[in-house]
Chain A
Amino acid sequence: DAGITQSPRYKITETGRQVTLMCHQTWSHSYMFWYRQDLGHGLRLIYYSAAADITDKGEVPDGYVVSRSKTENFPLTLESATRSQTSVYFCASSNTGGSTEAFFGQGTRLTVV
């Protein structure tokens, strides 16, 4: 199916464990983004990528790692999960032509216990 998909949709993990959230888009969009959304903070940018093998930090990158070996995939890894990383994570993608709006995946609700 065309679009942007995230997996898993829900995840419960323990403090200190490594967890990877997956994001896959079928549009061949150049840009991909990871946001976290928390009450009172809105959407905050964690990392973004302008193309395969090009990534950069956003507003709140600490504790997260990303990679982008292929244009269509942009996984986000929490190296050692902490309770403060309990959040809803959204992946998004956008093109560099046309209206350039960001399209969002369904989100991953992560709980760190």
Chain B
Amino acid sequence: QKEVEQNSGPLSVPEGAIASLNCTYSDRGSQSFFWYRQYSGKSPELIMFIYSNGDKEDGRFTAQLNKASQYVSLLIRDSQPSDSATYLCAVRSGGSYIPTFGRGTSLIVHP
């Protein structure tokens, strides 16, 4: 069974700090990796996707992928209270269009 693991948190960081969220996955055939943000009572929304090893940056967000170690991470620079949410990692295997989600990490950014 394909598994995606995340620390449930909460991860608490001060405003302006870097928040680091991690995700590991079990299927070595995984090819697509997604980070979603979910505010309380809302639906998940995509923040970033990454397919290749290395870093991908988009504004204050950086996704990092290491396929050899089977982990993907999300860095949020200059964290803001509005970043407080649950962050879901999703993984899709090659040849499949079905994403498998981790349980999410709760992030709290305090002023």
Interface residues of A (CB under 8 A from B): 30-31, 33, 35, 40-43, 45, 48, 50, 58, 90, 94, 96, 99-107
Residues of B in contact with A, size category: 10 to 19
Q: From known contacts A42-B101, A42-B104, A48-B98, infer whether A101 and B88 are also in contact, taking CB-CB under 8 Å.
A: no
Other-chain residue from A35, A42, A90, A101 in contact with B34 (beta carbon distance below 8 A): A101
Q: From known contacts A33-B98, A42-B88, A50-B97, infer whether A104 and B103 are also in contact, taking CB-CB under 8 Å.
A: no
How far is B98's CA from A31's CA once the two chains are assembled, in angstroms?
8
B29-64 contacts to A (CB < 8 Å): 32, 34, 42-46, 49
Q: In the bound complex, do residue A100 and residue B32 qualify as a contact, i.e. CB atoms below 8 Å apart?
A: yes
How far is B103's CA from A69's CA once the two chains are assembled, in angstroms?
32
Contact of B90 with A by CB under 8 A: yes
Q: In the bound complex, do residue B90 and residue A102 qualify as a contact, i.e. CB atoms below 8 Å apart?
A: yes
Q: From known contacts A105-B43, A106-B43, infer whether A45 and B98 are also in contact, taking CB-CB under 8 Å.
A: yes
Q: In the bound complex, do residue A101 and residue B103 qualify as a contact, i.e. CB atoms below 8 Å apart?
A: no
Q: In the bound complex, do residue A104 and residue B44 qualify as a contact, i.e. CB atoms below 8 Å apart?
A: yes
List of A residues within 8 angstroms of B44 by Cβ: 43, 90, 104
List of A residues within 8 angstroms of B88 by Cβ: 42-43
Q: In the bound complex, do residue A107 and residue B43 qualify as a contact, i.e. CB atoms below 8 Å apart?
A: yes
Residue of B43, B45, B90, B104 with most partner-chain A CB within 10 A: B43
Q: From known contacts A42-B88, A43-B88, infer whether A102 and B49 are also in contact, taking CB-CB under 8 Å.
A: no
Residue of A31, A35, A96, A100 with most partner-chain B CB within 10 A: A100
Contact of B99 with A by CB under 8 A: yes
Q: In the bound complex, do residue B43 and residue A90 qualify as a contact, i.e. CB atoms below 8 Å apart?
A: yes
List of B residues within 8 angstroms of A30 by Cβ: 97
List 27 contacting pairs A-B, 8 Å CB cutoff, sorted by A.
Answer: A31-B97, A31-B98, A35-B101, A40-B103, A42-B88, A42-B102, A42-B104, A43-B44, A45-B98, A45-B100, A48-B98, A50-B97, A58-B98, A90-B44, A94-B99, A99-B49, A100-B92, A101-B34, A101-B49, A101-B99, A102-B34, A102-B46, A102-B99, A104-B44, A105-B43, A106-B43, A107-B43
Q: From known contacts A90-B44, A99-B49, A101-B46, infer whether A42 and B98 are also in contact, taking CB-CB under 8 Å.
A: no
